[in-house]
């Protein structure tokens, strides 16, 4: 993906939507001194190029009967990094994937149902991906200002 060129207005729009994704285009336009149409076009462009996504988020504290996991992953060979990265992102339980520097090559954020879901994810879904050398799983017990 080609990086998008963002100007000050784009960043101001993003900042306002980050505070409240439901802010009306007209309200944003009034605060930034531009028309509602300009805001609408900018938001559409930011979404089309993959810079911005507006969505509802849930506090994982309210996911009763679910487990939030962070899984650190080491791959066997550097040449497999992007392949493993892409495959992890396709698993339905995986909410995000990141390439890291440091102890792990990748880290994934996972939501599963119950402890049985943890076992099934680790022994079936994750185990089905070739190129993974080792993993370390962290069960998230409590969060603060963390949203999915």
DSSP 66: E
Q: Which residues of 101-112 are buried (b: 16+ CB within 10 A; e: fewer)?
A: eeebbbbbbbbb
Domains and CATH numbers, the chain: 8-48 (1.10.10.10), 60-140 (3.30.70.920)
Output the pLDDT for position 4.
Answer: 66
CB 37 within 8 A of CB 45: no
Mean pLDDT by 10 residues, the chain (148 residues): 78 94 95 96 94 85 85 96 97 96 97 91 95 96 82
pLDDT score at 145: 80
Write down the pLDDT at residue 80. Answer: 96
- Any residues with CB less than 8 A from the CB of 88 and at least 6 apart, and which? 73, 94, 97, 106, 108, 129
Q: How far is CA 111 from CA 11, 64, 129, in A?
A: 31, 11, 18
Q: At what angle do helices 8-19 and 25-32 cross, to 10 degrees?
A: 130
Rounded Cα gap, residues 37 and 26, in angstroms: 8
């Amino acid at each position: 993906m080609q990086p998008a060129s963002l100007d000050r207005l784009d960043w101001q729009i993003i900042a306002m939507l980050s505070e409240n994704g439901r802010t009306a285009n007209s309200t944003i336009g009034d605060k930034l001194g531009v028309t509602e149409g300009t805001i609408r076009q900018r938001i559409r462009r930011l979404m089309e190029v993959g810079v911005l996504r507006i969505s509802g988020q849930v506090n994982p504290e309210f996911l009763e009967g679910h487990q939030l996991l962070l899984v650190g992953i080491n791959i066997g060979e550097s040449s497999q990094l992007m392949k493993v990265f892409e495959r992890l992102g396709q698993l339905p339980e995986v909410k995000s994937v990141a390439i890291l520097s440091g102890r792990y090559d990748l880290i994934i954020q996972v939501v599963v149902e119950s402890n049985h879901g943890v076992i099934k994810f680790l022994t079936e879904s994750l185990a089905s991906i070739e190129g993974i050398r080792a993993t370390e799983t962290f069960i998230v017990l409590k969060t603060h200002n963390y949203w999915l």
